[in-house]
Structure 1
């Protein structure tokens, strides 16, 4: 990735295939005008555009750090889809999501990662735990791993529950904000190399990378006008949070290590 620019493709949804009734956001399987299938994340769903922002930031930081992440694209949804859908709940969701949404390339044939069936070595486990501590991602648990096994490789998906502070913006500037939910992370028992990973990832993820990623957030998703005066001010709030958390990564590494020790 160029340090100063990150370009995501934009596609147009050409066919709504089926709902994926998973979690509270109820994403949909769609076909786009490039003939590929995508999992569409609707901005009209419960968490609104904030879930899309977290998905975008979390997924692209993960990709930058070397994780396997399906391609993320912007997806335009025409108002016509809401008029022809028979299911009233889905019809309302489609109507509320007209315009720009986010979509993830569909990994056909992938299976949900099962930590009991597929062991993860310590280095990769530590890398994933570190990432989720940085992002404060609460949704990588035994109940819902949000990882897929595809072509004998582990892929990370669904970062929409990360950065949960932005639902209220309370204390977001606190440099040592605790992440208590790390204790529930599905890979925490295997994460024995957190300090090594911390040193590597702090070098790999730079302020310029963070700026490039937050600059991709569309203006129309940045609607917290009660907190921020402009979309750019809100983008910089995300950047400041990530930069501050990265600079204080030793705090969340220690927190994760203590949580791990309490499990073993």
Structure 2
């Protein structure tokens, strides 16, 4: 196991490259950093944002990195050189969440300005803006086939959107506080959400029905993710713990302690 040190402020987001060899992180220190996942050594620092960096993700081929910031911009970086390739302007408030589409051609961003934007990952052109949210968008990701997106909102809801049309397909109510993180299972049939109400929920991505509720955290759930086989969920919380859950039974399989502060990002 590795502990990677280098950021000078809170770490907001982490992600693995698709081959598992590299980790990307973003921080309130305004930087994006690349790390060797085996040795834990810092390989690259990406400077360019003028405020804290809330979210970061790799392109599917690992060649690019996308980041979203409180400076209201989305940046695309070249992973090999740390050079800024494109800056995207359009949001009018903090960009809390960014993700590449599965084929790498598009980027989605969610913002406190209550909008989701879809961008061309090659040119930076804004392809579509979805402005039908009633509150800030804290988390947004594509389904594995790229046909849908799921967003987690400050108004306590989870929404599913049609990527091509921007139509709202489903709205799921069940959380009683802000939804901080959402993710699709790899087969696209389930969604997991984590909320400030301390709860992790599993939803049917077709019907919108709530399938499971996982109780165990004692403070805000800040990040959630599925394992690739969809059998487990991992969650990170303001209670300083990481929990692993069985999706079929909602049983807590493991509670991992070691952090001395909020756990803002988790990934398998």
TM-score for the superposition, normalised by structure 2 = 0.23
Larger strand proportion, structure 1 or 2? 2
Looking at CA atoms only, which structure, 1 or 2, has the larger radius of gyration? 1
More helix by share: 1
